[in-house]
Chain A
Amino acid sequence: MSALAFVEIDEGKVRKSSLEAVSYASEVESEVTAILFGQVEAGELDLIGAAGASKILHGADEQLAQPNIMAYASAIGEAINTTGASLLVLAKSSLGDPVSARVAIKTGASLVSNVSELPDTSDGFKVKRSIYTGKAFALTVVKGDRKILTLKKNAVSIKEDGDSAQVETFTPTLNDGDFGVKVTSQEKATGEVLLPEADIVVSGGRGLKGPENWGMIEDLAKALGAATGCSKPVSDMDWRPHHEHVGQTGVKVAPSLYVAVGISGAIQHLAGVNSSKNILVINKDPEAPFFKAADYGIAGDAFEIVPKLTEAIKAQKG
C-alpha cells in the first residue's frame, strides 16, 4: 500500500511541518510519494527524500505556482486515483485544512484532523486526535479504504536518513471552475520564524505595559531562535498584529518551549498553548494561574528578568 504526502512550499522552501507529514506517511506505509506545486529551490527536494519519500510528484504548471485551494484539491484527488494511494497526509495549515476536506469529498475518503500520534493499526485504523482545543484527545476509528489525516505539529519527528527521491513532473487536468477565487494581494511577515511552525515561541501579554516594550521580547526570541506571539488583549489593543494572537480564538501552538511573559494565564490563552512540551512563565504575580500550567516559572519583574534571561541564553549558546 502506498501513501501520498502533500508538501507545502513557502517562498521556494519546504515547510518543516510538511516534512513531518512525509515522515508520518513513511512510518505508516512503505512507499511514500510527496506531491508539491510551484517553484522550489534546488536542494529542498533532498529534504523530502530524507524524510522518507521515494518519489516526488512536482506540479510545475505556472497556473499552480500560487496556492489555490480548489485546484490543489483537484490535482491531489487526481494523484490519489493515479497512484492508488490509500492514505494522504498533510500538515494542519491554512492551506492543508481546506485542501484535505475538499479531497476527502472528491475521493470519498475519511478525514481526521489534528492527529497527534502515529496510528494504531492492530485492529482497524485508529488515530489519536486533539480536541477541545488541546484539553482532551479522542481515539478515533477511521473507516473505509481511503484515509486522509492532517497532523498537529510534533505528531512525529522528522526523518533525516531516507534516500533521495525520484522527481517526476506532474501535469494534472486543470478545471476552469477551480480558478474563480482571485488572490489580489498578500501581507506577510518575511524572514521571521512562522508562529505555527516554530519550535520555540516567546509571547508577551499586558504585563509588558505597551507595544514600545516589545524590543525585549524580540531580543529574547532572537536569542532562542523563536517566533513571537501575544495574548488576546494585546492583539485586541493593536499592540501586535492578529496573526500573533495565541489562544482559543487565535493561533494554537505546540512548540518544544513556550515562554509567556506578563501573561496571567486565562483559560482561553492556555487552550492555545497546552500542547507545548515545556512552558516557562515569567510573571510578577506569584499567584498568576499560568504558573499552575507551567514547567518552569520566574516570579518577578519582567523588565529585569527578560534581559537577564536573554544574556544567560546567549552565554549558554556561546
Chain B
Amino acid sequence: MKILVCITHVPDTTSKIAFVENNTQFDKSGVQFIIGPYDDYALARAVELKEQHGGSITVVNVGEVETEPIIRKALAIGADDAVRINAFPEDAFFVANQIAQVAKEGAYDLILMGRESIDFNGGQVHSMVGEMLGVPSVSPVMKLDIEGETAKIAREIEGGKEYMELALPFVAGCQEPIAEWKIPNMRGIMSARSKPLEVLEPTDNEVKTEVEVFELPNAKGAVKMFDADHVGELVDLLKNEAKVL
C-alpha cells in the first residue's frame, strides 16, 4: 500500500501569536515550529498501517527550506521518503494544487493529513485534493482500518460519530484518537538523514485569497470576582450586563 502523508509546518500550540511588518507577517521570533498536531496523528496511523499491510510512506510538505527539520522528523518517525514543494503555502487552493500534482504522479492508495492546520484552521485542503483527484475525502477521521480494498472509518460529526465504508483510494483528514503520536527513536533519527528528500518547484502558482493584514483580538477587561455567598449578584450581572439569561 502506497501512502502519502501531507504535513504542515506550524507554531507549537503554546506559542504566543504576534505579527510584524505592520501586521502583515507572522512573528517567528522565539517560536518553535512543529509538525501540525493533526498531521502527526495522520503520520502515526500511516506508520501503523504500513506495519500491518506493508508498503511505503511518502511525506509531502509545501514550504520553504525552513521546513526541512520537521520533514526529517517525519522521516525519523517512519516515512520512507519525502517531497518538499519549494514555495510558501500561500492559501489552501495553492497547497491543494501542489499536493494533488504529487498525488497524481505517485498513484497513492491513501492520502492522509490532519483535519486542519493549526495556523489557518481552514480544514479545506483534504477535500480540495479529493475533488481535484476525483476521489472521496473524509474528515475528521477518528478511526481508520483497511481490509483489502475497503476502509472502515469513524468520522466525528456534531454530537457524535458516523461510521462509514469506502473503497481505496481516498483522502482523509485525521484527528485523535486515530493513533498515538510516535516519538522518533535514535535509529529512526540516524536513518532519516540518508532517506531521500526531493525538492520540487510548484507547478501552478494560482492563489484565490490573500491576507491583507493580521489582527489580534481586543484584550479582555478585568475579571469580576465573586465568592460563594454572592452568587445572586453574579446572576444579576449575567442577566443585565452580559444579557445572556
Chain A residues within 8 Å of B, Cβ to Cβ: 69-70, 73, 93-95, 97-102, 104-106, 109-114, 126, 128, 130-144, 177, 180-189, 192, 194-197, 199-200, 224, 242-243, 248-249, 256-257, 267-268, 271, 274, 277-278, 280-281, 286, 291-301, 304-305, 308-309, 312-313, 315-317
- Which residues from chain A contact B159 at a C-beta distance below 8 Å? 188-189, 192, 194-195, 243
Shortest CB-to-CB span from A238 to chain B, Å, is 10
Contact partners of B186 in chain A: CB under 8 A? none
Q: Are A139 and B213 in contact (CB under 8 A)?
A: yes
- Name the one of A94, A144, A309 contacting B140, with C-beta atoms under 8 angstroms: A94
Q: Which of A128, A141, A296 contacts B209 (CB 8 A)?
A: A141
The answer to whether A101 and B155 have CB atoms under 8 Å apart is no
Interface pair A280/B132, CB less than 8 Å apart: no
A184 to B162, CA, bound (A): 8
Main secondary structure of the interface of A (DSSP, over half): mixed
Question: Which B-chain residue is minimally distant from A94 (CB atoms)?
Answer: B157
Residues of B within 8 A of A182 (CB): 164-166
Interface residues of chain B, those whose CB is within 8 Å of chain A, are 11, 13-14, 17, 19, 37-38, 92-93, 96, 118-128, 130-132, 134, 136-140, 142, 155-167, 175-177, 207-217, 220-221, 223-228, 231-232, 234-239, 242, 244-245
A292 touches B223 (CB 8 A): yes
Q: How far is the CA of A137 from the CA of B121 in the complex (A)?
A: 11
Q: Are B127 and A299 in contact (CB under 8 A)?
A: no
Cα–Cα, bound, A309→B17 (Å):
35
**What are the residues of chain B within 8 A of A271 when measuring CB–CB?**
13
Interfacial chain A residues near B92, Cβ < 8 Å: 101, 111
Taken together as a complex, chains A and B put the C-alpha atoms of A248 and B137 apart, in Å, by 23
A143 touching B209 by the CB < 8 A rule? yes
In the complex, the answer to whether A102 meets B245 with C-beta atoms within 8 Å is no
Cα of A267 to Cα of B15 in the assembled complex, Å? 9
Given contacts A140-B209, A194-B159, contact A316 B121 (CB under 8 A): no
Does the CB pair A316–B239 fall under 8 Å? yes
Complex Cα distance A134/B121, Å?
9
Distance from B90 Cβ to chain A, minimum over Cβ atoms (Å):
11
In the complex with contacts A143-B208, A188-B160, A257-B242, A181-B220 CB distance below 8 A: no
Q: How far is the CA of A131 from the CA of B123 in the complex (A)?
A: 11
CA distance A132 to B207 in the complex (A): 21
Instruction: List B contacts of A280 (CB < 8 A).
Output: 234, 238
Q: Is the CB of A141 within 8 A of B226?
A: no
Chain A positions within 8 Å of B223 at CB level? 281, 291-292, 294-297
Q: Contacts A102-B131, A294-B223 known; A256 to B244 CB distance under 8 Å? A: yes
Q: How far is the CA of A180 from the CA of B128 in the complex (A)?
A: 17
Q: Besides the contacts A113-B124, A298-B225, what 5 more A-B pairs have beta carbons closer than 8 Å? A: A94-B155, A97-B139, A111-B92, A188-B161, A242-B142
Closest to B132 in A: A105
Provide the residues of chain B in CB contact with A136, threshold 8 Å.
Answer: 17, 19, 214-217
C-alpha gap A199/B227 in the complex (Å) = 25
Residues of A within 8 A of B17 (CB): 132, 135-136
Q: How far is the CB of A32 from chain B (nearest CB, A)?
A: 23
Which residue on chain B has the smallest CB distance to residue A298? B226
B167 touches A242 (CB 8 A): no
Can you list 27 A-B contacts (CB < 8 A)? A69-B136, A94-B139, A95-B157, A98-B126, A101-B92, A104-B128, A105-B132, A111-B208, A131-B120, A133-B121, A135-B216, A136-B216, A140-B212, A177-B134, A184-B163, A200-B244, A243-B159, A243-B160, A268-B14, A277-B244, A294-B220, A295-B223, A296-B225, A296-B238, A298-B234, A309-B234, A312-B235
